Amino acid sequence: MTPDLVMEILARLPVKSLLRFRCVSKSWLSLIDSTEFSLQHLKLYNPNSANSRLLLGQKRIKIHIYTLTIRRCDTLRKDADVATFGRPFKVLQSLNGLLLISSGHRQEMTVKLWNPSVRKCLVIPNCPIQHRSYNLGFALRSKDYKLVAIDYKLKTIAVYSLNDHRWNINPNPLNINQVSRFHVRPPVYSQGVLYWHGDIFYQRRDIFCYDFDVEEFSLLPLPDAVKKDDVWFIFRLGESLGVFSMSSVATCIWLREKNMDRCYWSEWFKGEPNSNAYQQLFQMRASSILFLQQTNTFLMVQKSARGRDRVKSYNFTTHEIQHLGKSLQGKLFFDTYMENLALHNGIDGQTLMSFPEDQTGNNINARS
Amino acid sequence: MASSSSSSLSRVVVKSSDNNLFVVNKKVASQSQLLKQCIDNMEEKGTNDVILIPLSNVTSNILTLVLEYCEKHADFADDDNNNQELKQWDHEFLKKFDYATLNSLTMAADYMVTKSLLNLCCQFIADSIKDLTVQQIRQIFDIKNDFTPQEEADIKNENAWAFR
């Protein structure tokens, strides 16, 4: 069999099998450890609908325990435990199955990049700027995971590159004056760019963008049809950025598409509006939104002030809104669970920690 | 898209590496981009002769299987891709074969540019090898272990949990 075909087959395997098959031969080892393979695996293994699962974080109020579990997308039924943390622990961001986490108390708080599927994590060096918010992304051209910390007061950013394992300060990057720091929910990552929008008091119809390759900000106007009185939000659909909107006339989904060098909004779905769904979506303070293409459904975490978050599913064709996982308590976080080989082989000159330590999280790949 | 020009071919003859001839109708042959390309080229030249396409890399055993797949998929060509009956058939089709046959079929699908069969084979092989041991993998793919025992133990230790 040719190396290309071996790659086609191996790229469809779960991470646990791949970590084992590194032992097969020298050529398999160098294939599995290559960046090219790791990216191909991310593309081929994860979209397979049989593997579609959710990573759900749950922080119970009063008892300081943070649990991470893998769950089915449709029913939120538990598939496997990932880990339980007793110390102050927080998931700051997630991308392609990697989690940016912080742990420890304020003085000795460390930020780590953790890949639960390979059970390893990397301690990120201290960020050189203050007043920061962290955002994780992947730069397509340099094939590099990057972390951008933004200081909105001083109009400065610092960018951490995983390939270089260090921070670089970039004072006054292009358009930083125009972006707003206030956002209602985590930014949406798509194709090397991070997108977010201002809170409901922000009147302009723009989406803010940060490009991880050029390390600059820009503004992206919403589709013309989205009006001020619409309910709207952005989300990720496959590899693309999507905008959902509902007005008194229609329910629409637009996709940001690229043809040659031209980018444009194309209408992907148009249907009837629904006043009940409009009211509920308008009042729901969704803190994260996931799109599940197989079922035409959005999964949303509805924030509550007292840390009693709820998971709601909204079907945009039937306008049915359901409360899922009724037994879940506390502050919730979720994202698509993805298996990713990144970090498994360490990075130059850095040793990675096994994380969580071996006694916990033994079930992570229980299903594989 | 069926061409309505007067030079349109209805059948082609495909020759396997062991010199057996297979008469294949155009709709079936079009499932393979390699065969489709040959047909399109001939039609552009305006020939009315039945064309012969030699496949130097595919034995008649394997070619029979590829053509069986193409025939079934040609029947469903106008349906959407998510046809459950077709999916079921695909699974039953591959289930019968041993690894050696699956490997040859995968290589033939690659050579004949039958993307859907290639994807199907790769996914099927992946699903069936994911729980195997390193030793079993070496046997199936006929791979020689070129690590020293120490090297192998070191690699294993990097991710001991994956071997449990």
ipTM of the assembly?
0.88
Alpha carbons A52 and A339: distance in angstroms, whole number: 10
| pLDDT for residue A345 | 85
What local confidence, expressed as pLDDT, does residue B98 receive? Answer: 93
Question: How deeply is A357 buried, as exposed, middle or buried, from its count of CB atoms within 10 A (0-12, 13-18, 19+)?
Answer: exposed
CB-CB: which of A20, A358, A365 is closest to B134? A20
CA distance B128 to B106: 14
Q: Give B67-93 pLDDT, tens digit per residue.
A: 999 999 998 877 766 688 898 999 999
Residue of B nearest to A356 (CA): B161
How far A29 CA lies from chain B's nearest CA (Å)? 9
Taking all residues of chain B, what is their mean pLDDT, rounded to a whole number?
89
Query: A6 — contact with chain B (CB < 8 Å)?
Result: yes
Q: Are A194 and A210 in contact (CB under 8 A)?
A: yes
- Nearest chain A residue to B105 by CA: give it: A1
Contact A113, A355 (CB under 8 A): no
Diameter of chain A measured on Cα atoms: 62
Q: Which of B133, B144, B161 sits opposite A25 (nearest CB)?
A: B144
Residue A241: enclosing H or E segment and its boundaries? strand A240-246
Q: pLDDT tens digit string along B34-49?
A: 999 988 888 887 776 7
Dihedral angle over CA of A73, A79, A80, A85, nearest 10: 50
CB B105 within 8 A of CB B66: yes
Cis peptide preceding A356, ω within 30 of 0: yes
For the question of whether the overall pTM of this predicted structure is more than 0.90, the answer is: no
What per-residue confidence (pLDDT) applies to B120? 95
Query: Which H helix or E strand runs over B35?
Result: helix B33-45
Contacts of B164 (CB under 8 A, 6+ apart): none
Tokens 């990675």, residue located: A352
What is d(CA A201, CA B87) in angstroms, rounded to the nearest whole number?
50
Pairwise CB contact (< 8 Å): A5 & B107 = yes
Alpha-carbon span B48 to B9, nearest angstrom: 7
As its CATH architecture, domain B11-130 has: 2-Layer Sandwich (3.30)
The residue of A2, A6, A7, A9 whose CB has the most chain B CBs within 10 angstroms, and thus the best one to mutate to test that interface, is A9
Q: What is the pLDDT of residue B76?
A: 85
Q: Where are the domains of chain B?
A: 11-130, 132-164
CB contact under 8 A, A25 and B122: no
Could you list the pLDDT tens digit for every one of the 368 residues in chain A? 888 999 999 999 999 999 999 999 999 999 999 999 999 999 999 887 666 889 999 988 777 788 999 999 888 999 999 988 887 888 888 999 999 998 877 777 889 999 999 999 999 999 888 877 889 999 999 999 999 998 888 889 999 999 999 999 998 888 888 887 766 678 899 999 999 887 655 566 788 999 999 999 998 988 988 877 788 899 999 889 999 999 989 999 999 998 888 899 999 999 999 999 999 998 887 888 999 988 899 999 998 877 789 999 999 999 999 999 888 888 898 999 999 999 998 887 777 888 876 544 443 443 33
Alpha helix positions (H), A73-119? none
Pick from A175, A298, A173: which is nearest to A234 by CA? A298
Is the pLDDT higher at A340 or at B6? A340
For residue A367, the model assigns a pLDDT of: 34
Pairwise CB contact (< 8 Å): A1 & B107 = yes
User: Looking at beta carbons, which residues of chain B come within 8 Å of A23?
Assistant: 134, 147, 152, 155-156
Closest Cβ–Cβ partner in B106, B110, B126 for A13: B126
